Amino acid sequence: MTFKPVILWTDALIYLLLVVVIIFAWYVRRNEHLLAPWRRVGHSVSGMMALTVLILFISIGLLDTIHFRPSVQANGSTNNKIYGVQVLSLFDVIATPLRINIEKTYSAPFATHLYTRETIEFSEGKQVREFPRLEFGGAHLRNPEEQFVADVTWRTVAGLSLGLFVWSAFVILLVMLMAYRSGKEFMQTLSAILRNETEVPWNAVFRMLALIFSLLGIALSLSACYHIFGTDKVGQDVFYQSLKSIRTGLVIGTLTTLMMLPFALLLGIMAGYFRGWIDDVIQYIYTTLSSIPSVLLIAATVLMMQVYMETHPELFDTIAVRADLRLLFLCIILGVTSWTGLCRLLRGETLKIREMEYIQAAHSFGVSHWRIISRHILPNVMHIVLIATVMDFSGLVLAEAVLSYVGVGVDPSMISFGTMINAARLEMAREPMVWWALLSSFTFMFTLVLSANLFADAVQDAFNPRVRTLSFINRKIVPR
C-alpha cells in the first residue's frame, strides 16, 4: 500500500515551532547566562517529573501530526493510484487495533457484552431480550463469566512485566550514557543517582518513568483484547479518542501562544518604551479589547468561519482539511483575544527598565531605538514572556474544552477533550448512565493540565528574579 503525504496548516506550524525550539535549545546551550536558569529548572523534583509526563504527551501529539492519505485500489486495477479521502496519521497506524475494532454501540470498560439489551431471535423462532456479546471486546473468551478475571489478571501481570523490562533497559542505557559522558564508572553513577547526589533529580525521574512504562505496558496488553475505557454511542474505543484528543489540546496551547506573542511583545514594549501618545493608543486598544466578552467574540468569529466553509465546500478536498482550518482559526482568535494580559506586564516592565542607567547611557551615546529595544530591553523581559507562555498553556487547553462544550470550539468531526465532554453531557442523562467517556476525557485532560502547571511553577521559580533574590537572602540570614 502506498500513501500520499498530507501537510495540514497546523502540521506546518507545529513543524516550524519544533525547528524554532531546536534552534533555541542550541543557542541556549552556547550561552551560559541563558543556560543557568534552565539548570535551575532541572533541579526541581516536581518540575522534572511533570516534564517527563509532558514529554509523553508531546510524543503522542507529534506522532499524530504526521499525516497521509492511503491509496485505494480502483476497479481491481493495480496501475491507477487513487488515494482515499480519509486522512490518517502515524499514530493511527500504531493504534490500528483501537481504531478499527468498532462495536455496535455502548459498552462499559472491560465489558464483554453490550451495555443495552437487544432482541435476539434464535433459529427455532424464540425471541429473548439480553445483552449481546461484543464483536471484539473479550471475543477470545469462550466463557466470560469464568475466564474473565483470570484473563485480565494474567494480561495485567504480563503488561506490567513488559513495562518494567523496557523501563529497566531504558534506565540502564541512560545511566551508561551518563557514566560515559561524566567519565565515571557505571556503578558509581548509579549509586549517585540512588543517593540523590546528582544535579538533576534522576531518581525521581526514573520513578516517574517506571510508573509511565508500567501503565503503558498494562494498557498495551489489555487494550489488545478489551476496551479498557469502554466504547461510545457508535462503538468507537474511548481510549483511542482520549489519545487522539492530546494533539488537539497541544495545538491549542502552543499555536495560540505563537499567535499571541507578536501582539504582546510589539505593543507592550512599544507602549512602555515610547510612552506618550503611543502608550495612550495601545492602552486604549487593549482596554477596549478586554471589555469585549471573549466568548462572544470567539463565537461570532467561529460562526462566520463556519458559514464560509459551508458556502465554499469546493475549497476542502477532505473533512480533515476543513476541520484543521477551523482549528487554526480558533487558535488565531484565541491568540487575538488573550494577548492583553501579557501586554500589560511587558509595558510595566519596560517602563521600569527604560529608566535604568545603562539605557540612559545608550541614549546619550546616540544608540538607535531599535538597537536599544533589541539588545537591552527585549532580553530583560524574556523571563516574563517565558513564564506567561508556560502558565497560559493549561488555561488554553481548558478554554478549548469549554468552547467545544458550548459548540463554538473545534469541528465536530475532530476529536478533542471538549467534544468528548460535550458528547458525555448527553450520555450522562440517559438510563443506564454512560459515565466512562467523561471519566476518560477528564483523566487525560487533568493529567495534561496538572503536568503543565507543575512545570510552569518550576519555570517561574527559576526565571523570576524576585524569587531568586529572596532565596539568596534567606540563605544568607540562616544562623550558623
Among 193-197, 198-202, 275-279, 473-477, name the one with the lowest average pLDDT. 473-477
- All three cell numbers of 391, joined, read 502558565
Question: For residue 400, what pLDDT is reported?
Answer: 81
Handedness of CA 386, 459, 62, 315 (dihedral sign): negative
Residue 189 has pLDDT above 80, yes or no: yes
- All three cell numbers of 182, joined, read 561524566
Q: Which domains does the chain possess?
A: 141-224 (no CATH), 247-450 (1.10.3720.10)
Q: CA-CA distances (angstroms) from residue 70 to 85, 98, 239? A: 8, 18, 24
What is the mean predicted confidence (pLDDT) over 175-190? Answer: 86
- 469 pLDDT tier (thresholds 50, 70, 90): very low
- Rounded Cα–Cα distance for residues 342 and 267 (Å): 10
CB 433 within 8 A of CB 425: no
132: Cβ contacts below 8 Å, ≥ 6 apart: 104, 113, 114, 118, 120
Cα 419–chain centre separation: 16
Q: How far apart are the first and last CA of the chain?
A: 73
What is the mean predicted confidence (pLDDT) over 236-263? Answer: 89
DSSP 76-138: TEEEEEEE-S--EEHHHHHTHHHHH---SS-B-TT-SB-SS-EEEE-TTS-EEEE-PBPSSTT
Question: For residue 63, what pLDDT is reported?
Answer: 93
- Rounded Cα–Cα distance for residues 152 and 147 (Å): 9
Question: For residue 82, what pLDDT is reported?
Answer: 77
- Rounded Cα–Cα distance for residues 10 and 400 (Å): 15
Among 54-58, 250-254, 420-424, name the one with the lowest average pLDDT. 420-424
pLDDT tens, residue by residue, 336-358 = 888 888 888 899 989 888 888 88
Question: For residue 473, what pLDDT is reported?
Answer: 42
Q: 3-state class of 268 per DSSP?
A: helix
Residue 114 has pLDDT above 50, yes or no: yes
Residue 103 has pLDDT above 90, yes or no: no
CB 134 within 8 A of CB 111: yes
pLDDT tens, residue by residue, 197-214 = 888 889 999 999 999 999
Question: For residue 77, what pLDDT is reported?
Answer: 54
What is the mean predicted confidence (pLDDT) over 150-165? Answer: 94
Question: For residue 80, what pLDDT is reported?
Answer: 65
- All three cell numbers of 318, joined, read 477532505
* Higher-scoring residue by pLDDT: 127, 282: 282
Question: For residue 155, what pLDDT is reported?
Answer: 93
343: Cβ contacts below 8 Å, ≥ 6 apart: 263, 264, 267, 268, 271, 282, 286
> The whole model's pTM is what?
0.86
297: Cβ contacts below 8 Å, ≥ 6 apart: 333, 337
Residue 476 has pLDDT above 50, yes or no: no
For the chain, helix, strand, coil in percent to 5 are: 70, 5, 25
Q: Express as a percent the part of the chain with pLDDT over 90.
A: 19
pLDDT tens, residue by residue, 80-94 = 677 777 888 999 999
- 125 pLDDT tier (thresholds 50, 70, 90): low
- Rounded Cα–Cα distance for residues 35 and 305 (Å): 43
- All three cell numbers of 321, joined, read 482539511
| Average pLDDT of the chain to the nearest whole number | 84
Residue 480 has pLDDT above 50, yes or no: no
Residue 141 has pLDDT above 60, yes or no: yes
Question: For residue 247, what pLDDT is reported?
Answer: 92
* Higher-scoring residue by pLDDT: 210, 114: 210
- 165 pLDDT tier (thresholds 50, 70, 90): very high
Question: For residue 472, what pLDDT is reported?
Answer: 40
